[in-house]
Amino acid sequence: MPTFEIKMPKLGESITEGVIISWSVKVGDTIEEDDVLFEVNTAKVSAEIPSPVAGKILEILFQEGDTVPVGTVVAKVELEGEDAGDSAASPAQETPKVSEAQPAPEKKEAPATEVAAPAKKNKEEGRWYSPVVTQLAKEAKISQDELDKIAGTGYEGRLSKKDITKYIDQTKNGVVPTPGAAKPAASAAPTQSAPAAAPAPKPAIPVAEGDKVIPMDFVGKIVADRMVESVRTSPHVTTIVEVDVTKLVKWRTKNKDAFQKREGISLTYLPAITEAVAKALIDFPRINSSLDGYNIIEKKRINIGIAVSLPDGNLIVPVIKDADKMNLTGLATSIDALALKARNNKLSGDDIQGGTFTITNFGSFKNIIGTPIINQPEVAILGAGIIEKKPAVISTPDGDVIAIRHKMYLSLSYDHRVINGALGGAFVRRIADYLENWEA
């Protein structure tokens, strides 16, 4: 019987390895397409990895807790039924796809028991089809272009047997299915940097009796390395403004109960801050960019990442795609859904990729201000502090008066190679203006 290799997928930009948290199957188990095989934890996301084929688990090559490089075979499946019957279309060298280019593995001659035919990909070089889907499309005389446009509900937008069957049934019954091709367009491979110089020896830290030594977990180690890398890469500057958000506070107080009843979620201040940021990014497109050598790449899409604190103390940044095209309700529901997925370890690779700007909410911890570290390869990040009541001098037709106002601090950290003080200051001031003159 032919076999199919399950490999460690790449679940995020610059991810090179993952830790197998748990296996949901054992050797000898019979599995169906889309059955969960194992859970993997990377620096950016935890995800359940489904099987792209049906068959029997022939071999499991790594144990729970093992750290496995991306692209490494972790298990082998003996193909059965429809998959085995259409083995010529089965991609023995493929794994579930995510939205990032991977270096091509060395070509090796496949053993006699393995299927060596290449996988079918769409014109975006990112979509993969199982043998079952390929066969059903062939029988229904669906062209490759048409197949590429069918929306998939499987892992990372993959087209499952259920999707293609539903599409065929709708077509036969005269229903025009909604087009929506999978969109895991591969991003450019990162530029290889020069090897780093050997680090200077670090002084030994004395450990006294009674001290507790706590090893960092996998995600903690990666986050620590990324923070050091970001500070070393970008010359950070932080500028801060105080914002009078009294109008916003009054608006939220008036509408939060109705919003909760209508949408089923709490109305926080974060959607309003996100909307103001999206508007300001349209006004100042240089902030929505990345730096590649001496080339500044201004991004067309405005994809705003929202930092989410996890129960284990780690941090992850799910991304709201095309935030500038959403209204306040859309932003609120997207933020709530992504935060819930993050805390339940249900984020997909696509959920944490493609960000162009990040917001971190210090106010959720009742902090007034902070100087956040840039989320590479972005060039700026906004920190939002807690909203507090403060006495303030207000100008009126009858003269200045002291009144109680709701105020907060916004802090913008930015890459001084791309953004100078005038631009950074104007940008964060524009966000403040949108919030101070809030209208919804």
**Mind telling me the catalytic residues?**
416
Burial class (CB in 10 A: 0-12, 13-18, 19+), 75: buried
Q: Which whole-number Å values give the CA distances from 192 to 89, 110, 402, in the listed order? A: 34, 30, 58
Instruction: Give the per-residue SS3 of the chain.
Output: CCEEEEECCCCCCCCCEEEEEEECCCCCCEECCCCEEEEEECCCCEEEEECCCCEEEEEECCCCCCEEECCCEEEEEEECHHHHHCHHHCCCCCCCCCCCCCCCCCCCCCCCCECCCCCCCCCCCCCCCCHHHHHHHHHCCCCHHHHHCECCCCHHHCCCHHHHHHHHHHHHCCCCCCECCCCCCCCCCCCCCCCCCCCCCCCCCCCCCCCCCCCCCHHHHHHHHHHHHHHHHCCEEEEEEEEECHHHHHHHHHHHHHHHHHHCCCCCCHHHHHHHHHHHHHHCHHHCEEEECCEEEECCCCCEEECEECCCCCEECCEECCHHHCCHHHHHHHHHHHHHHHHCCCCCHHHHCCCCEEEEEHHHHCCCCCCCCCCCCCCEEEEECCCEEEEEEEEECCEEEEEEEEEEEEEEEEECCCCCHHHHHHHHHHHHHHHHCCCC
User: Alpha-carbon distance 53 to 421, whole Å?
Assistant: 54
User: Alpha-carbon distance 49 to 24, whole Å?
Assistant: 10
Rg (CA), the chain: 25
Strand partners for 261: none
